[in-house]
Structure 1
Amino acid sequence: MFIPFEKLPDYARVWVYQADKALNNAEQNHIQQVLEEQVNQWAAHGVPLVGSVQVLLNRFIIVAVDEVQNQASGCSIDASTRWLKELGAAMNLNFFDRSVAYVDGDEIKTVEMLKIKSLVAEGIIQADTIIFNNLVPNIGEFKTNWQVAASASWMKRYFQQVAL
């Protein structure tokens, strides 16, 4: 059963999917419509799940479920992953982009993990650059720790001064 994202509690479980490119308005609307229909039919062992989906910042798809109502099973989680794979294939998009997304001015850019250190050395990614932590487990963490300064993330090691 689909409900608006903002009506879900902070303990609701989330999965953050990152598109491999910025999405235009038509793509975002299509994704939202298709995934709302899927969430509306989402079930675990035949029992409906209460969940939501939201497209954010022209790049991210957030899928959420309130597991107090009914826990998501392995099969229901696999089903949600399949939605994104099928939708991505139909739209020629990859929603499983594992590069690091960061804010650069008014734009969200991505960089391969292996290139992070050089971008920090070049000053392109700085300590206060906002990066996206797509591994947040629930809505509460999503609200507080999805967008964080690079120096407050796993990237902090690149900004620590070496004491002599």
Structure 2
Amino acid sequence: MNVTFDALPPTARVWIYQASRALTDAELVAVGPHLARFAAGWTSHGAALRAAAEFRHQQFLVVGLDEAVAGASGCSIDASVRFVGELEKALGLSLLDKSRLAFARPGGLLLLERRDLKPAVAAGTLGPATPYFDNTVATKAELAARWPAPAGRTWLARYFAPVAEGLAPGPALA
């Protein structure tokens, strides 16, 4: 059954799919009914799932599931990934590619390939306070509290350790 994210409990499980580009306002309006239809029809072993699906920041598809009502099964998770694949085709973008990291910057999001992270930190483009969208958060509570979070407080902290400790990056730290 389709519900709003506000109706999901803090313990609700979430999956975040990062789009390869921002969706336009027209695309967001057009995709809304498809998200609602997916959430309303999502089932696990024949049981309706209490779910929500929405885009945030015009770039992230967030799917939430109240597992206290019914948990996701392998088949239902497969169905959600198939739905995401259909969205990719319909919108002409990627949602399943995990190779880019997203940071909030003035004027919009900055998407970086993982290999470009160290050079961006060295150039001062990113710092420990730069908001980072850690798409591995697992619950609605984590989504609310840590998405985005300062990059230096996530798994990316090791890239800022020399800066945070007042040390110049050296060969042993790079």
Normalised to the residue count of structure 2, the TM-score between the two structures is 0.90
Is the Cα–Cα contact under 8 Å of residues 2 and 52 in structure 1 kept in the other structure?
yes
CA drift of 1:93 comes to 1.1
Alignment match, 1:73? 73
Aligned residues: 164
Cα drift, residue 61 of structure 1: 0.7
Match of 1:51 in 2: 51
**4+ runs deviating over 4 angstroms:** none
* Map 1:73-152 → 2, pairs under 5 A: 73-98=73-98, 99-152=100-153
Measure how far apart 1:90 and its partner are. Answer: 1.9
Instruction: Give structure 2 stretches of 5+ with no counterpart.
Output: 169-174
**Larger RCO of the pair (alpha carbons < 8 Å, separation 6+):** 1
Structure 2 residue identity aligned to 1:160: A
5 Å matches for 1:22-61?
A: 22-61=22-61
Q: For the aligned residues, what is the CA RMSD?
A: 1.3
Where does residue 2 of structure 1 map in the other structure? 2
Q: Deviations over 1:15-73 (max 9, x none)?
A: 00100001111111222221110110111011100000111101001001101101111
Q: TM-score, normalised by structure 1?
A: 0.96
Cα distance in structure 2, aligned partners of 1:29 and 1:80: 20
Deviations 1:59-115 (A, max 9, x none): 001001101101111100110111010111122111123200001113111000011
Residue matched to 1:20: 20
Partner-residue secondary structure (3-state), 1:29:
helix
Which amino acid letter does the alignment assign opposite residue 27 of structure 1?
A: E
Secondary structure of the residue that 2:156 maps to in structure 1?
helix
1:35–1:83 contact (8 Å) kept in structure 2: no
Residue segments in structure 1 that go unaligned for 5+ positions in a row: none
